[in-house]
């Protein structure tokens, strides 16, 4: 009888852990979707990249410059300066920490060619704060993105 009770307790505990993990995954997935950058110059689709989250530019307000697609001409790697900005990954490595916070990521700024450490957190359901920084978050800048509600 003790063996059955122990087995029952173990099964209940395993079920509770699975439920909590499922809730964490659901909460972490709130960030998935399309976001409009602060100035409205781009739309970024945030997806899962394995266990982490990343973001790719899927729309640009001005995708063409001088009759050609906008390229990553400020990139410090000369071999990447001809790659199109449209379709480029600019967020990667974000892990969900709970309470609507994502950390340990990096963000690439195509306008300067710089890469920064970054965190993201929800201001509310439709607003995401992306903070890029050098060394520690105190030395950084926050950009407020809004969830895109239109058709992709």
Domain spans of the chain, in order of start: 1-31, 32-147
Q: How far apart are CA 127 and CA 145, in angstroms?
A: 6
**pLDDT at 117 > cutoff 60:** yes
Q: Are 147 and 128 in contact (CB under 8 A)?
A: yes
Query: Between these two residues, 24 and 89, which has the higher pLDDT value?
Result: 89
Q: How far apart are CA 41 and CA 21, in angstroms?
A: 36
CATH class of this structure's domain 32-147:
mainly beta
Q: How far apart are CA 73 and CA 95, in angstroms?
A: 29
Confidence of residue 18 (pLDDT cuts 50, 70, 90): very low
Q: What is the mean pLDDT of the chain?
A: 87
At 108, give phi and psi (nearest 5°): -105, 130
Q: What is the pLDDT of residue 100?
A: 85
């Amino acid at each position: 009888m003790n063996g059955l009770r122990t087995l029952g307790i173990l099964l209940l505990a395993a079920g509770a852990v699975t439920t909590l993990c499922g809730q964490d995954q659901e909460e972490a997935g709130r960030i998935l979707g399309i976001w409009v950058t602060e100035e409205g110059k781009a739309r970024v689709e945030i997806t899962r990249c394995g266990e982490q989250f990343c973001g790719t530019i899927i729309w640009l307000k001005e995708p063409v410059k001088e009759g050609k697609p906008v390229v990553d001409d400020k990139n410090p790697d000369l071999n990447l300066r001809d790659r199109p900005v449209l379709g480029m990954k600019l967020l990667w490595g974000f892990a969900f920490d709970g309470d609507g916070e994502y950390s340990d990521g990096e963000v690439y700024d195509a306008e300067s060619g710089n890469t920064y450490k970054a965190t993201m957190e929800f201001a509310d359901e439709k607003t995401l704060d992306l903070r890029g920084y050098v060394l520690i978050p105190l030395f950084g800048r926050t950009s407020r993105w809004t969830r895109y509600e239109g058709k992709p």
